[in-house]
């Protein structure tokens, strides 16, 4: 419990919040109100934890966030493009709601793996 917040963790939390937002239309269209409400509750908790971690970051750590968030944005766009290409080649039309949810999931996964691989390649 004594782990210090890092900008990388905060970027992952923001990515998780964006992923949760991206899944909301999927549950609305599918008529899954209970899951929709659970995602909203979890989204509030993730945002609260992100806000607390933001407050605990030092100024020099906050300065690293814009670069990480830009990288997260690129990963989310690449994930959406990758899932769009995948579904265009291998599946029938699935609807924009599912495409956005799958793209955000792939983008966040790419961002997390990129953060994980960076320390391995520099060490």
DSSP category for residue 31: T
Dihedral angle, C-alpha 82, 110, 73, 11, nearest 10 °: 160
Predicted TM-score (pTM) of this structure: 0.90
Find the helix packing angle between 7-30 and 33-56, rounded to 10°. Answer: 170
- CA dihedral over 88, 21, 110, 69, signed as positive or negative: positive
- C-alpha to C-alpha distance for 109 and 61, rounded to whole angstroms: 23
- 88 belongs to a structural domain: yes
pLDDT score of 4: 82
- 92 belongs to a structural domain: yes
Query: 24 in helix, strand or coil?
Result: helix
- 68 belongs to a structural domain: yes
Domain total of the chain: 1
Q: 74 is written with which tokens?
A: 């690129």
User: How high is the mean pLDDT in each 10-residue block of the chain (123 residues)?
Assistant: 83 97 94 95 97 94 95 97 94 89 97 84 53
Location of structure tokens 């766009």: 77
pLDDT score of 1: 54
- 1 belongs to a structural domain: no
- 50 belongs to a structural domain: yes
């Amino acid at each position: 419990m004594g782990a210090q917040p890092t900008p990388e963790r905060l970027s992952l939390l923001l990515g998780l919040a964006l992923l949760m937002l991206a899944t909301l239309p999927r549950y609305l269209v599918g008529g899954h109100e209970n899951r929709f409400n659970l995602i909203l509750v979890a989204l509030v908790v993730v945002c609260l934890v992100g806000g607390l971690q933001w407050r605990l970051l030092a100024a020099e750590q906050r300065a690293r966030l814009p670069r990480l968030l830009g990288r997260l944005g690129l990963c989310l766009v690449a994930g959406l493009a990758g899932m769009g290409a995948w579904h265009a080649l291998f599946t029938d039309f699935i609807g924009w709601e599912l495409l956005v949810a799958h793209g955000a999931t792939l983008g966040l996964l790419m961002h997390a793996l990129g953060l994980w691989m960076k320390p391995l390649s520099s060490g």
